Amino acid sequence: MGQGLSCRVQDEHGLFTAVQSGDLETVRSVLERDPDLIHQTTVNDRHSALHIAAANGRIEIVSMLLDDRLLNSDSLNRHKQTPLMLAAMHGKISCVQKLIEAGANILMFDSMNGRTCLHYAAFYGHSDCLQTILFAARTSHIAVSWGFSRFVNIRDGKGATPLHLAARQQHPNCVHKLLDSGALVCASTGGYSFPGSTPLHLAARGGSIECIRELLAWGADRHQHDSSGRIPYMVALKHKNGACAALLNPSSAEPLVWPSPLKFISELHQDAKALLERALMEANREREKTIFKGAGHLVPSSSQSDNDGIDDNISEVSEMELCCICFDHVCTIEVQDCGHQMCAQCTLALCCHNKVNPSTPPVCPFCRSKIVRLVAVEVKTANQDLNPKLWKSRMPNCMEESCSIKGLLGVPSFGKARSHGSARISVDTQCIDKT
C-alpha cells in the first residue's frame, strides 16, 4: 500500500505528467492528437490516467474522464486498486464524491491485502471520505444485497475490519464514525497484527488515548484476550503507552458506556445525540483525571476543555433552567411528546439505569410515558425564561415527586455505584450530590 504514483517512465506523450499536475488543457490536446493514449497505463503499477488524477485530487480531470466516458470508473491497476481506493487513500474527497456519483463500485477488493475503499479511508484517517463511502453504502443497492452493517464490518484478507485499521493507525474521528455506523467494537482479527486482536488491542498498540476513549465509551471489553492471551492493558504496557495503560488497567474505574437503550429510541435527534455524547465524554474525562492522578500520569492535553465557557454559562442561568432531577445542570434534552426536560447527564443516567431489561425503551421519569424521541432544548433568551408554562412543564408536580424520581433513577447513589455491582450504569459523581 502507499506506493508512489511515479509516471516518469514512458510518458513521452506527456499525458500522465499533465494529469498529475492538473493541466487540463494539455490533457485535452494530447488526447485530441491521439485518442488511443487514454488506454495507456504506467509501466510499473499500471495506473490509468483516472488513477493518477484521483490520487492527486485533480477533480477537473477526473470529471472530464468520467463525464466523457473515456475511462471506466472501476478501472484496475496492477494491484487491483480502483481510482476510488486511491482517492480515499490520499483523502481527495471531491474525487471520492465524483467517482461514487459516476457509479464507482465501493465493494471492490484490492489484490494486496484484500481491502476496500472503506479500509483505505479508515487506514489513512480520512474521515470525510469514510463518511461519504458509508453514506453511499447506506443509500445504494449494497445496503439491500449485502447489508449495511456487513459492509461497515467488512474484513480484509487478514481479517481486519475498517475499525481495526482506524484504531491501529490512531484515527479517533474515523473510529467514532465507524462505531456510530454499527462497527462491532469487540471483533477479533484473523491474521492482522497479533491474531485475535480487538480494536482496543490495536489502539493500545498505536497509543492513541482518544481512540481508546471512543472504544471504551462504546463498550469495548478491557478483559478480552487476543490469541496469545493478552488483554489490551498488556499490549499498552509492552509498547510503553503509559497513559493508555492506565485507562486500560482492568482495576481502574470502569468508564461510562454509551447506553444501549438509547438505540431503542427510534428518533434520537442529532443535536440531542451530540449533547448526550458530550456529556458522556465529559463524565469519562472526569474519571480519567482520577485514574491518571493515581497512576502518576499527566492528564493528556486533549482534556483541556473542562472549565472553559460551559461553567460560566451555568453561573448566569436562573434556577428555573436547572434540571429538576439533579438541580445541578441546565436542561438541554427534551422528551417528545410530553415535553418534559432534563439535563444530558440525567438522560444518560436514565438510559444507563435501564439495565435489567435493555430491550424496552426507557420511560420519562416525570410522566412515565415511553421515550420514543429525544430532542435538544432550544436555547431561550433571558426574557422567555419567565414564561410560567415552560416552568410548569419542566417541573414535576411537587418536590416529593422529584425526590422519588431521584430514587427511581438511582441518582443519589451514583457516586457509590460500585455497591450496586457495576460502575457501568453510573454517572460521574460530578453530576449529583451537590444539592
User: Site mask, Zn ion, residues 150-189, x = CB under 5 A?
Assistant: ----------------------------------------
Cell digits of residue 230: 493478552
| Residues contacting residue 320 through CB under 8 Å, at least 6 positions apart | 385, 391, 394
Indicate the DSSP class of residue 370: B
Q: Which is nearer to Zn ion, 133 or 326 (CB)?
A: 326
Of 90 and 329, the one with the shorter C-beta distance to Zn ion is 329
Query: Three-class SS of residue 341?
Result: strand
Identify which of residues 166 and 346 has a Cβ nearer to Zn ion in the complex.
346
User: Can you spell out the DSSP letters for 337-371?
Assistant: TT--EE-HHHHHHHHHHTTSSTTSPPB-TTT--B-
Rounded to a whole number of angstroms, the minimum distance from the CB of residue 354 to Zn ion is 15
Whole-number Å distance between alpha carbons of 230 and 22: 49
Rule CB under 5 A: is residue 325 a binding residue for Zn ion? yes
According to DSSP, the β-strands at 373-376 and 341-342 are: unpaired
* CA 365 to each of CA 1, 112, 340: distance values in angstroms, whole numbers, following the listed order: 53, 55, 9
Residue 338 within binding range of Zn ion, rule CB under 5 A: yes
Number of residues that bind Zn ion (CB under 5 A): 11
Site residues (CB under 5 A) for Zn ion, limited to 343-382? 343, 346, 364, 366-367
d(Cα 286, Cα 204) in Å, to the nearest integer? 21
- Tell me which residue has cell 477488493: 109
Minimal distance in Å, beta carbon 268 to Zn ion? 16
Contact between 257 and Zn ion by CB under 5 A: the answer reads no
CB of 91 to Zn ion, least distance (A): 41
Of 317, 350, 433, 341, residue with least CA distance to 395: 341
Asked whether the beta carbons of 125 and 141 are under 8 A apart, the reply is no
Residue 258 touching Zn ion (CB under 5 A): no
Nearer to Zn ion, 190 or 339 (CB): 339
Q: Coil, strand, or helix at residue 314?
A: helix
**Residue 220 Cβ, how far from Zn ion at the closest point, in Å?**
27
- String of contacts with Zn ion for each residue 283-322, x by CB under 5 A: ----------------------------------------
Out of 201, 205, 340, 353, the residue judged to bind Zn ion by CB under 5 A: 340
Kindly state whether residue 5 participates in binding Zn ion, applying the rule CB under 5 A. Answer: no
326 binds Zn ion (CB under 5 A): yes
Site for Zn ion in 214-243 (CB under 5 A): none
Written as nine digits, the cell of 99 is 467517482
Using CA atoms, how far apart are residues 81 and 200, in angstroms rounded to an integer? Answer: 29
* Footprint of Zn ion (CB under 5 A): 323, 325-326, 329, 338, 340, 343, 346, 364, 366-367
